[in-house]
Chains A and B, each alone.
Chain A
Amino acid sequence: MSIKLEHLNYVYSQGTAYEKHALKDICLEIPHGEFVGLIGHTGSGKSTLIQHLNGLVKATSGALYYEGRNIYEEGYPMRELRNQVGLVFQYPEHQLFEVDVMTDVCFGPKNQGLSPEECKARALEALKLVGLKEKYYKASPFELSGGQKRRVAIAGVLAMRPKVLVLDEPTAGLDPKGRDDILDQIAYLHKQSDLTVILVSHSMEDIARYADRIIVMNKGQVQYNGKPVEVFAHYKELEKIGLAAPQVTYIMHDLKEQGLDVKTNITTIEEAAEEIMHALEKRK
């Protein structure tokens, strides 16, 4: 038990003409070490939700417990929470500002009050974790390619050694190779260092491949919360809220409809291929 949200509500610009109920009665629990996928189309509240997790936005009502303690109680050490819950924003490369990659990655640890040596050690470790080549450590972050910049930005958060890593669409705007590289790296981090990962994404295919659990947001509420196969079973409802199951899920449903005896709770290509071969053999 790591993060727990109880009846969380958030209302934008309360009391004005632009008032918007962005989060409605959110109850969630994210246990330690899980890889959670958070989906929802633009404006569903998912970005607002993750900004609550490290206290950047304060809920209008409700409670958020981190390791059993309500972060809204008087005197809660917010800085400590931000050290523990690392948040990587969308297009994080836009936050780079230092003269070179190394110094930029040191920014987080420096703010934590660590010694310069310790900062550097942490930065080195983080840069290695995101797989950036050593020749770039002294380069200006602005000279790097889009994918490399993004790695640096993620390293900047990892260098703070968070226990929970929240990523808001870390693959937006990257090409397929860049995307796969980053996601594989995150999955590797998750296995390697016992990190809780919360991945916000539009891509069902990506989420299906990596997440243990999927949370679907719609209009500020949690619509589904479960294992990928469970959530994607609702593929028709998902479509109504501007989302979709992975393409293979549709193929399996269509095949079943055509009379081929296949399981439909399939979300990845490899599973699908195996299941189809299996079903065809059974038939013979």
Chain B
Amino acid sequence: MIRDITIGQYYPAKSILHRLDPRVKLVSTLLYLVSLFLFKSIPGYIVATLFLAVVIRLSKVPFSYIVKGLKPVIMLLMITVIFNLFLTRDGEVLFHAWIFTITEGGLQTAVYMAVRLIYLIIGSSLMTFTTTPNELTDGIEKLLHPLNKIHVPVHEVAMIMSIALRFIPILLEETDKIMKAQIARGADLENGNIIQRAKNMIPILVPLFVSAFRRANDLAMAMEARCYRGGDGRTKMKPLHYEKRDRIAYVVVIVYVIAVFVIGRYVPLHVWVF
């Protein structure tokens, strides 16, 4: 069911990762994503995998929950894999039929790409699993604060993001309900060609938009009623201060990035395989 989508949903637990400063998690996630593209060898993958495994372990988020979050992006993954598989022409031909050719290089790129994408998604969703949207928003707001000087509305953008995250599950549930209601009225959402299917989505999209606007209106009113007037003069319930653990985390992540870079580039495979 649609509400089973767990990607990006905060998972409450008491772990060291949950306690870290959101800025650390944001910067680290960014660094981890970049690190995935710094190497192109099996030792590099091993280091990246180990690091991810340790972080997952520390996060206390059940592995099955993380895997469930991957489900909605499977299609995207498949497409990338297929493109890489058939379009890369490099090395020995492993398989050939009609216009389809799979080469050794293609297979390698496809697998690497799939692993990278999966790590990328797990890495970034680990951040959202362990950080409440409010913390995330605070983190972004504080990180991007210097941009305020060039008149970028940092606080507003951060607030919009946090509200979006709060309403995603609500709107998903609503979508589920509207879909059921239209199916009950005989709507056919499964058959037909692409255009037909897109057309069949109208009975779902229109009510969904109407409801989203209604909610936005209500929420704006509720926020104003609670004296919201933008970022000026606002205090924080959970102000951000770096603590010892945050500094340690930064060091760990930087060490990891250097390690993955060095090992991934300069350590040949046989050193690891013996």
Contact = CB atoms under 8 A, between A and B. Distances in A.
- Do A and B interact directly, with beta carbons closer than 8 Å? yes
Interface of A: 13, 16-17, 51, 54, 56, 79, 82-83, 86-87, 89, 92, 94-97, 107-108, 111-112, 142, 156-157, 160
B226 interface: no
Interface in B121-144: none
- Give the bracket for the number of chain B residues in contact with chain A: 20 to 34
B185 A94 contact: no
Interface string B161-187: 000000000000010011011111111
Interface in B174-211: 174, 177-178, 180-188, 202-203, 206-207, 210-211
B203 A107 contact: yes
Nearest to A107: B185
Contacts of B211: 94
A160 B203 CA distance: 17
Contacts of B183: 56, 82
Nearest to B180: A56
Contacts of B180: 51, 56, 89
Nearest to A95: B181
B91 to A, nearest CB: 41
A160 B206 contact: no
B182 A95 contact: yes
Contact of A16 (B64, B184, B187, B207): B64
Contacts of B64: 16-17
Most A CB contacts (10 A, CB to CB) among B62, B68, B184, B203 go to B184
B242 interface: no
Contact of B207 (A86, A87, A97, A112): A97
A92 B65 contact: no
A87 B186 CA distance: 11
Interface of B: 4, 62, 64-65, 68, 174, 177-178, 180-188, 202-203, 206-207, 210-211
Contacts of A82: 183-184, 186
B222 to A, nearest CB: 18
B181 to A, nearest CB: 4
Contacts of B187: 107, 111
A119 to B, nearest CB: 12
Nearest to A89: B181
Contacts of B188: 111
A160 B185 CA distance: 8
B186 A95 contact: no
B23 to A, nearest CB: 30
Given A17-B62, A56-B184, A95-B178, 20 more contacts: A17-B64, A51-B180, A56-B180, A56-B183, A82-B184, A83-B186, A86-B184, A87-B181, A87-B184, A89-B181, A94-B177, A95-B182, A95-B185, A96-B207, A97-B207, A108-B185, A108-B186, A112-B186, A160-B185, A160-B186
Most chain A beta-carbon contacts within 10 A, residue among B177, B183, B186: B186
Contacts of A96: 207
Contacts, number: 60
B181 A97 contact: no
Contacts of B181: 87, 89, 92, 94-95
A96 B182 CA distance: 9
16 contacts: A54-B184, A79-B186, A86-B184, A87-B184, A92-B181, A94-B177, A95-B203, A95-B207, A96-B207, A107-B186, A107-B203, A108-B186, A111-B186, A111-B188, A112-B186, A157-B185
Contacts of B4: 13
A113 B211 CA distance: 29
A111 B206 contact: no
A254 B212 CA distance: 49
Contacts of B185: 95, 107-108, 111, 156-157, 160
Contacts of A95: 178, 181-182, 185, 203, 207
A94 B184 contact: no
A16 B6 CA distance: 12
Nearest to A156: B185
Nearest to B205: A97
Contacts of B177: 89, 94
Which are the 4 A-B pairs with shortest beta-carbon distances? A111-B186, A97-B206, A95-B181, A87-B184
A94 B186 contact: no
Contacts of A83: 186
B184 A89 contact: yes
Nearest to A91: B177
B4 to A, nearest CB: 7
